[in-house]
A = this chain, B = another copy of it.
């Protein structure tokens, strides 16, 4: 292969430019072509004669294929995810296309560059709710059956993980978060009022909004597609503050044998 093109699959974090790593910033400066969901590209400052290739949600495989083709043709291509590219984002889509493509494509210079994923940013704003063992579940059933999601939620509750729910709700899926809450309540019947739940909306954006409630009181209508939902573990603690948002954290130690 004589192409000198490359593909970088990068994460720009969930919020402001100050959460973009210098490594990713350098790629965004060097790239001749940048692909991504249009609202992520809107957050980037265009560089020189760089070409932006915005596309819609649900177009991940087409976006990955087009980016690979351009890079194979010699272009310097970045694919942007909002957050980390490896967490429910573009990196998996790129490898899905690559695996099915002609074997020669595998010689292309490809790298994935890490970023700050939404749950880490949300956790930082809230305190340290991921301070002990945790899991991350994509609540969307666009690409997997709801039965798999329900089973994972049940087992995560039994494991007493803190749980980060990505894509908790959209206009096309208005009721799944309510089902998830009901399922978690049924796994923790004695603990609903003691299980902390946080809604972290648009973290790092001008309209950021944090709220803390309990599993018993959690209202799915307060959640939209830009919200990350964090479910606390048994040990999760809430520290009230005289002014401002309480801190939520999960202690590192677990004393009792469960």
Contact = CB atoms under 8 A, between A and B. Distances in A.
A161 to B, nearest CB: 6
B135 A133 contact: yes
Contact of A106 (B26, B242, B258): B242
A237 B91 CA distance: 13
Contacts of A254: 143-145, 148
A124 B110 CA distance: 11
In terms of DSSP, what is the predominant structure of the interface of chain A? mixed
Contacts of A135: 133-136, 156, 159, 161
Contacts of A92: 128, 131-132, 249-252
A57 interface: no
A29 to B, nearest CB: 13
A198 B147 CA distance: 28
How large, as a class, is the contact surface on chain A?
35 or more
Interface stretch (A32-40, A47-55, A112-120, A218-226): A112-120
A159 to B, nearest CB: 4
A211 to B, nearest CB: 18
A136 B134 contact: yes
A143 B253 contact: yes
B130 A138 contact: no
Contact of A249 (B95, B133, B257): B95
A155 interface: yes
A155 to B, nearest CB: 4
A2 interface: no
Contacts of A148: 160, 254, 257-258
A121 interface: yes
Give the 4 A-B residue pairs with the shortest CB-CB distance, closest first. Answer: A92-B131, A91-B128, A135-B135, A144-B254
